[in-house]
Amino acid sequence: MAGESPYTLHTLPNGLQVVIEVMPGVRSAAAGFLVRTGARDEVPQLAGVSHFLEHMMFKGTSKRTWRDITIDFDRMGSTYNAFTSEDRTFYYGWVPGEAIERQIELLADMMRAALPPDEFATEKNVILEEIAMSKDHLEHVMFDFLQEKVFAGHPLAWPILGYDSTVGALTRDQMWEYFSQRYAPDNMVLIVTGKVAPQQIIGIAEEQCGAWKPSGSKHARRPPAVHGGVDVLQLERFKQQVLALTFPSISATDPRIETAAAAASILGGENSRFFWNIVQKGIAPRAGAHHLDYADCGVMILFAACQPERAEETLAALRSEAKTFCEGRVSDAEVERVKNKRRTSLAIEAEAPYYRLTQLIDDMEYHGRPRTVEESLAEVDAVSADTIRDYLAECPLTKEGHLTSVGPRNFPATKA
């Protein structure tokens, strides 16, 4: 790559990786700690511990109470939050450039959380309420059920929130052991973007994180099998039926991932074939396609929500559109339209330090290094009708796949 790289990479002696991107022309900066742990790293009896732990990281340290943490974020004008997924947990703050040192100090302090026992008990009730609320959303229930069946026998099968039983039985000692193993510096990355001076950031990282003890553990992940078949969850409390067809696909590390995303967008994104031929024709009010990918696996999910009595027609429409999509050829106009939307998205994200954080997470996890926006755009530019045709030949949507059905109907009919 011509010119001076905007990236500085540094690894502390304890294994903590530091990734810095200088963004000329911006006035703000963002920092975040990526912890390489998530729902897929849990054992069955601890399902939900990663997400519960994310909440507890805001509940106090040896230096701060939870009130102090909240107030200190506000004092520096931070836009802050955290999230847990199947394969990662991330804590971040976005501040004026001059506040980045204070932001990193606060986040680093949180990474050595105290997990106060009284807060543990209180927060457990919050998590249990969150689980209860998720059961009121049909599409959340459907997606959890889909993962449970498609990835059966693998940690990707359980929901990020966990279950009433596992969260309810979880003890602080169990969480502390998980925290000690997973929140070690050799399993973490500090990412900083925006108006920053790299050597200053490295100095801050060494000061705030240099004394952390590495675990020395290797946390290997095993790829899942993607199961076919038919699974029905009959829930009479809902008024609609949600149907989903799931097919094996490529992983997030595959160089054709932009092609897979473009295929999903053309088939089931905004102004897509599903929109015009299913939604606009009144077959189902919602229909779409989503490419779900991890470092070691991926699936393409076609879904629709419909009136229960129209489930047969809706399923037939999903399969018909998928067949036409695979056996025909997408037009150059369709491809260019979705590429333009993707280009705009990448351009917008490139202009804000926080959004660059999230892009760099994927880069580090899936490519092993930070990538420029120009590199990402080049992958988008390479998508064509031919690459989509080749992708669909390898990952067809015309096989049976896995059918998930959730709603008031026992559809397709299963034995009682």
Task: Look at 331 and 416; give whichever has higher pLDDT.
Answer: 331
Question: Considering only CA atoms, which of 109, 393, 35 is closest in space to residue 249?
Answer: 393
Question: Considering only CA atoms, which of 326, 242, 324 is closest in space to residue 284?
Answer: 242
Dihedral of the CA atoms 363, 368, 371, 377 (nearest 10)? -60
Does the pLDDT of residue 100 top 60, yes or no? yes
DSSP class per residue in 5-35: -SEEEEE-TTS-EEEEEE-TT-SEEEEEEEE
Cα–Cα distances (Å) from 362 to 188, 243, 368, in that order, read 14, 30, 9
Q: Alpha-carbon distance 127 to 111, whole Å?
A: 20
Does the pLDDT of residue 383 top 50, yes or no? yes
First to last CA, the chain: 62
* 123-166 per-position pLDDT tens digit: 999 999 999 999 999 999 999 999 999 999 999 999 999 999 99
Q: Alpha-carbon distance 399 to 205, whole Å?
A: 51
> Start-end ranges of CATH 3.30.830.10 in the chain?
7-209, 229-407
Token pair of 227, please?
């199961």
* 221-238 per-position pLDDT tens digit: 999 999 999 999 999 999
HSE-up of 400 (CA within 13 Å, CB side)? 8
What confidence score (pLDDT) does residue 415 get?
Answer: 62
Phi first, then psi: what are they for 213, rounded to 5°?
Answer: -90, 130
Assign a CATH topology to domain 7-209. Cytochrome Bc1 Complex; Chain A, domain 1 (3.30.830)
Q: Tell me the average pLDDT across 174-202.
A: 97
309: pLDDT confidence band, cut at 50, 70 and 90? very high
What confidence score (pLDDT) does residue 2 get?
Answer: 46
pTM over 0.75: yes
Residue 407 zone, left/alpha/beta (φ > 0; ψ -120 to 50; rest): left
Does the pLDDT of residue 218 top 90, yes or no? no
Cα–Cα distances (Å) from 201 to 64, 167, 233, in that order, read 23, 37, 51
Class of domain 229-407 (CATH, top level): alpha beta
**Cβ proximity of 57 and 74 under 8 Å:** no
Phi first, then psi: what are they for 116, rounded to 5°?
Answer: -55, 130
Token pair of 395, please?
């990952």
Q: Alpha-carbon distance 306 to 139, whole Å?
A: 12
4: pLDDT confidence band, cut at 50, 70 and 90? confident
Token pair of 77, please?
């004008």
DSSP-derived 3-state class of residue 299: strand
* 315-325 per-position pLDDT tens digit: 999 999 999 99
What confidence score (pLDDT) does residue 3 get?
Answer: 58
Q: Tell me the average pLDDT across 107-117.
A: 98
Mean pLDDT computed over every residue of the chain = 96
Phi first, then psi: what are they for 333, rounded to 5°?
Answer: -65, -40
